[in-house]
Amino acid sequence: MSVELLGFNIDNYSFEEAVVRAKNMIDGHKVSQVVTINPEMFQCAEKDADFANIIKEAEMVIPDGVGVKIALKLTGKKADRIPGIDFAKRLLTEASKSDIPTAIIGAKEEVIEKAVDNLQKEIKGLNIVYYHNGYFDSDEEIYRELKAKSPKLILVALGSPKQEVFIYNAKKVLNPALMIGIGGSLDVWSGNVKRAPKIFQILGLEWLYRTITQPSRFKRIFPALPLFLMKVINYKDKI
Ligand code: UDP
């Protein structure tokens, strides 16, 4: 089941259906890429054909953020919003139940150390076989280290599009696994960045909270949503 938006297919699973699908991919016979798509990524894909191709070839594309949900609504389509950070946390919990070897890559050294520590305290039985900060010179070296540990679930927090490119290239070299880009999730799990209060989460306004509390993001994120919605409307009128 998928819906089309600006030429990209987005899976329209419920949260629980997406979890089931991801668990099948963890047990699969190849490297599968999960993309949690947002308006900024559509903008990036428009300028970067390689990035657009990565999204098109991803095994699962889920709508992260209210922007994509509104855009789908404008075009008469529908998909549940699946916040990437909640989805990734749930995958860690599912992995812990079956002792699935897990790896996490990204963020500054002190951030990933604290995040791993917090996750291990919170999720009993979580089997983290490898972690590395997100500031490395050689992707190949990280792939080599990953290959030696053969994790089946790999979370990558390098920001977009860096994490999607890293995962895409990993598909050719790693042992079967599910890989998902998780943006700034480690900053939240480490306790360094506060998640938006529940009311913002429920209303789908986490992006608004983040742009207010982290002014450096304002210029990047704030124009992205209206521009994206304009594009969706124009695109709809063309077809
Ligand atoms: N990051 C990283 N390596 C890099 C660039 C970014 O590990 O080369 C990390 C950064 O420390 C942060 C995460 O990627 O933890 C997300 O960064 P950002 O907030 O820029 O991305 P977004 O959440 O907007 O996708």
In this predicted structure, what is the pLDDT of residue 130? 98
pTM of the predicted model over 0.85:
yes
Give me the residues of the chain with pLDDT under 50, please.
Answer: none
DSSP-assigned letter for residue 7: T
Judge whether 104 and 155 are in contact, CB under 8 Å: yes
Residues with beta carbon inside 6 Å of ligand 1? 106-108, 134-135, 157-160, 162, 183-184, 186-187
DSSP-assigned letter for residue 157: E
Q: Which atom of ligand 1 is nearest to the CA of 133?
A: 7
> For residue range 136-150, what is the model confidence (pLDDT) as tens digits?
999 999 999 999 999
In this predicted structure, what is the pLDDT of residue 66? 84
Distance CA 148, CA 21 (A): 26
- Name all domains of the chain by residue range, CATH numbers in brackets: 7-238 (3.40.50.10700)
74 Cα: distance to centroid of ligand 1 (angstroms): 30
For the chain, the straight-line distance linking the first and the last C-alpha, in angstroms and rounded, comes to 21
> For residue range 179-214, what is the model confidence (pLDDT) as tens digits?
999 999 999 999 998 888 998 888 888 878 877 787
Q: What is the mean pLDDT of the chain?
A: 93
In this predicted structure, what is the pLDDT of residue 160? 96
Q: Which residue's alpha carbon is at the smallest distance from atom 1 of ligand 1?
A: 158
Q: Which residue's alpha carbon is at the smallest distance from atom 5 of ligand 1?
A: 158
Best residue among 133, 158, 180, 225 to mutate for probing ligand 1, ranked by most atoms within 8 Å of CB = 158
Q: Which of 25, 116, 134, 38 has its CA nearest to residue 83?
A: 38
